[in-house]
A and B are shown apart, each in its own frame.
Chain A
Amino acid sequence: MLHSLISKFDSNIETADAHCDIPCGIYDARIVTYYAVSALRQIDILLSLKDKGLSDTGFAMQVARNTAKKEEMAENCKHQTRIIWGDFMKPKNQEDMAKCHDAAHAIMLAGSAVKQDLHREDGEKLVAAANEFAEIFWASKGVKTKKVTTPYAPNIEVVEPDL
């Protein structure tokens, strides 16, 4: 009752933060590409399972494990994108803002597609969107980027900062 009474004067009451999201200042788009590549790798593993000669039980177990991991990696990719996009990205002009928004949105869509089904092209789209996002991120920090091929499967091209 007292709470609802005070709430009527809410607009005049100062706010005290008890935040968990106090920025640490450490933002790095490599984590987005890392999870995108990991999700693609899980797709590749899943698509290759039927050629492994596994027992029914072994096959079912591997499908369950790799599917769970695929979804986790895709969700991590989306989560890390949201943090960078929401907490760090402050594009200097409307054009940058539009590019940033489009790249983040592309990751959301591709990440969901990776979770929902099992198509390699969805994983490739996720990596491509993560690369686009990484380029915008590093450009906003004034850092040049380079494209390198991961020295491990799925041996796909990713955007890295040229430090």
Chain B
Amino acid sequence: MLKFVKVRGESMAPTLMPGDYLIFTKARTIRSGFVVLVDHPRYGVIVKRIVSVTDTSMDLEGDGSETTSLHSLKDVALENLRGRVLLAISPKGIKRL
């Protein structure tokens, strides 16, 4: 099932900008490079890119230069994964991720 979220913040710039709408779905498979929606135990619902993934956890990072450090988004449990972002809808148009 497809769901919408709205981006807040600039850590995924220039890929995603504040105000963009994202369409995401439950991920059947995941791998590094995917942009994902995560229900982080400390930071809440965040959107980041997967840097690396194991059977149980993943390391996340923003695309922007001022993102939260990789250290603080390391070893995020896969059970916190909400879904993979498929499309970003910005005022300029639709972007496939």
Residues of chain A contacted by B12 (CB below 8 angstroms)? 18
Interface size on B, residues (CB 8 A): 32
**CB pair A15 B62 closer than 8 Å:** no
Contacts of B13 in A (CB 8 A): 18
B9 touches which of A3, A4, A19, A24 (Cβ 8 Å): A19
Tell me the complex Cα distance, A13–B91, Å: 17
28 pairs of residues in contact across A and B, judged by CB atoms under 8 Å: A2-B94, A4-B91, A6-B4, A6-B21, A13-B6, A13-B21, A14-B6, A14-B45, A15-B5, A15-B6, A15-B7, A16-B5, A16-B22, A16-B46, A17-B43, A18-B9, A18-B11, A18-B13, A18-B16, A18-B46, A18-B48, A19-B43, A20-B10, A20-B64, A20-B66, A20-B67, A20-B68, A24-B72
Residues of A within 8 A of B (CB): 2-4, 6-7, 10, 13-22, 24
Interface on B for A, CB 8 Å cutoff? 4-13, 16, 18, 20-22, 37, 43-48, 62, 64, 66-68, 72, 89-91, 94
